[in-house]
Amino acid sequence: MRLAIKEASRALGLTAPNPAVGAVIVKNGLLLAKGYHRAPGLPHAEIEAIRRLENRRWKIGDRSHPKLLTPNSQLPAAGSTLYVTLEPCSSHGKTPPCTGAIIAAGISRVVYGARDPDKRHLGRATRILRKAGIEVTEGVLAEECAALNAYWNHRNTRGLPWVIAKAGMSLDGRIDSPPHRRWITSTASRKEAMHLRASVEAILVGGGTVRTDDPSLTIRGIKLAKNHPQPWRVVWSRSGKIPKKSKLLADAHRDRTLVFTGMTLRKVLQELGKRGISSVLIEGGGHTLGEAFDQNMVDEVRFFIAPVIQGGSVPAVGGRGRGSRAPTIQLTDVIHKKIGSDVMVSGRVLRKQRNRL
C-alpha cells in the first residue's frame, strides 16, 4: 500500500476534478505492475496497472518472473492482489467503472485504503466485488490514503471547495504597497506563494484587486510537471466592471478565467464546487478576504508577514469583523515559519468554530 501511495503522489495536482490514486498488482509476493491516474479522462490507476501488466515486457533480472505466467494463461492478473489507495469507482463517468475491469481481469483480492466519501458510491465497490467472489480488505493505511485527497474529500462531503486565505502584509497588517515599492514581502515568500498557487485548483480575487493591480495569477519561477494545469482564475465582482484589457481576460490563459457578478461569495464558492473545483486560494484584496471570514468560508490561513511598518489604508482583512455577531476566528495546528526576512503564519480554522455559525 505504501508503494501505491507513492504512485498516487505522482498524480498530485494533475487529476482535478478527479482524485489522485495509485495502484499496484502483486502475486506470490512479487510486484507485477503499478500505475496511477494521470489526468481526467485517462484510465484510472487500477486500469493503468492492469494494462501495464497485460502489455509489459520482461527485463532480465526482473523479480516479476515470467514463469508466473504460463503460455496458456488467459488472464495475466489471475490470482493476484490489487492494492489501491482509494475505493475503486463503481459508476460510469468519462471512463467505465473500475470494478468491472477488476472482475474481468481475474484479480482474486482487492485491498484499498480510503473509502469513497461520495454517499452514492460509499461501500458500493466492496459489495460489487464480493458478489463477484473477490476478497476485499478495506482501510489499510486509510488516513495516509485519505490525506492524498484532503481537498477532494472536503468537496465531496460538504459541497464546497477547501478555502485558503492568503495575504502578504506589513507588520501592521497592511497590504497596499507604497508608490516606491512594488512588493511588501521578500522574494523567498513570493516563491513560497507560487508553490501554494500550484497546490490549488483555483485562485480567487475581488474585482477591486483586478482594477487596481491587474494581476496575472499565474505560476512563475518554480519547476512544475509539463502537464501541470494553470489553476482557474476567479474574479468576484459586484459591479462587473473588469477592464477588457486586464491580463486575466487577455493573456494566454484567458480561457482559464471565470468572472462572477451579482452573486454572494458563498454562492460563488458553491458554484465552483459544482464545477468540480476542490480547492480555492483567496488572494485578496482586503474586502474579499474580510467577506470570506465574515461569512465563515475560510478553512485555512497562510499569512506572510514582512518586518516593515508602513501604515496605509488597506487592511489585510477588512469586512465587519468584530462589528458582526460572528465570534473571533481561531486557528488550530498553527505553524510559524521563517521565510527569507518574513514570517509565515499558517493554521486551520477551528472546525468547532465554523460549525457553531
Catalytic residues: 46
CA distance 18 to 279: 12
Q: Considering only CA atoms, give the Rg of the chain.
A: 24
Structural contact between residues 8 and 45, judged by C-beta atoms closer than 8 angstroms: yes
| φ, ψ for residue 36, nearest 5 deg | -145, 160
Mapping DSSP onto H, E and C, the string for the chain reads CHHHHHHHHCCCCCCCCCCCCEEEEEECCEEEEEEECCCCCCCCHHHHHHHHHHHCCCCCCCCCCHHHCCCCCCCCCCCCEEEEEECCCCCCCCCCCHHHHHHHHCCCEEEEEECCCCCCCCCHHHHHHHHCCCEEECCCCHHHHHHCCHHHHHHHHHCCCEEEEEEEECCCCECCCCCCCCCCCCHHHHHHHHHHHHCCCEEEEEHHHHHHHCCCCCCCCCCCCCCCCCCEEEEEECCCCCCCCCHHHHCCCHHHEEEEECCCHHHHHHHHHHCCCCEEEEEECHHHHHHHHHCCCCCEEEEEECCCCCCCCCECCCCCHHHCCCCCCCEEEEEEEEECCEEEEEEEECHHHHHHC
CA distance 210 to 206: 7
CB atoms within 10 A of CB 27: 20
